[in-house]
Amino acid sequence: MANFTPQVKRLGKNEREQVKVGFALAKEKRFDEALSEFEAILKDNPASKPAHLGAGNMLLRQERYEEALEHFKAVKKLDPLMVQAPLAAGRVYLRQDNLAQALEEFKTALSIDPNSTQAYQSIGRILVKQEKYAQAEEQFRQALRLDPRLVPVRLQLAQIYQTQGKLPDAVSEIKTAINVDSKAWRAYQALGRIYTEQKNYKGAKEAFEKAVSLNPEMPPAARLGLIEALVQNNELEEAIEMLNQVPRVKQLAAKTHQLWGDIYQRQGLTKEAAEEYRAASLAASEAGDIPDELAELDAILEQDDTSSPNLISSYRSLALQQLTQAQTRARQNFQQRRQGKSTLK
């Protein structure tokens, strides 16, 4: 590879303009039109590296992974020293959860450009998926040594620390990210989640509200953290208004039922709270895998006196336990499905 001299073909004026149009369309999220533009370029010039990269990226967005790979492989053949090609191919393999192949591509990118922050970041992501947190941190730190202003990398470090229970370290990384980019709404969202875990609901509310102010188009489903903070701060009217806007979809059912239970509990509607917590536990359970503890929850509903704070508190604790277990199962099942698909291909 070291002795390779790429054959450079200058883009004609018309082709340069077409490439610009394609990327402009992509920037406007008109991905189908952008793909058509890049394909038109390739019809006239099959050796156009920018068009191959553009078409591959549009296909990647459409989850047409094998077609995207063909374009990135074409670029690698045309110019083995073009770092964008292995980086792009690595992203495809990462989407497919083919971690071994993705890692090879990112290592190839580093052999071409040892200062590729994107390669270090991507390798770090793979190591996080493998739960090799210390090694992942090393990769992220290397990326930050090259560019300390990489906000996404700092947020990924914060996620590692949060997973390890190192919440002060996580908060420190997030605050550094905010100092770098005060408009990084995802940083405030991450800060709100940590404050919630620390039961600092006032701080969580402020962080979540800042995230929403920076991203007013944030869908209702992404505002569950803010709703929880409002409930914990006894701002029930606003919480109810926002919770009513959350779509009723299976993926959000457990959390929304739990929040309704919290609201009813604070309103003194203990029977309604118990029913919502039971629904949360059911929603958090896998189909056909209803935990034995639900029998205890049903017993509460059957009692005439559902006003006991201890009973409702136990009900809520069990619902939260089921939610946590469901989140863990969901992550494991997702990884298994992705690995299965990668094996079949």
State the Cα–Cα distance between residues 197 and 212, nearest whole angstrom: 19
Supply 75's token pair. Answer: 């670029």
Q: What is the pLDDT along the chain (345 residues), one digit of tens a residue?
A: 445 444 444 445 588 888 899 989 988 889 999 999 999 999 999 999 999 999 999 999 999 999 999 999 999 999 999 999 999 999 999 999 999 999 999 999 999 999 999 999 999 999 999 999 999 999 999 999 999 999 999 999 999 999 999 999 999 999 999 999 999 999 999 999 999 999 999 999 999 999 999 999 988 888 999 999 999 999 999 999 999 999 888 888 888 999 999 999 999 998 899 899 888 888 887 533 434 333 344 444 444 444 445 545 555 665 566 556 555 555 444 444 444 444 334
State the Cα–Cα distance between residues 277 and 274, nearest whole angstrom: 5
Q: What global pTM score does this model have?
A: 0.76
148-211 belongs to CATH 1.25.40.10:
yes
Other C-beta atoms lying within 10 Å of the C-beta of residue 112: 17
Domain boundaries, the chain: 148-211, 223-323
Please list, residue by residue across 120-138, b when 16 or more beta carbons sit within 10 angstroms of its beta carbon and e when fewer do: bbbbbbbbbeeeebeebbe
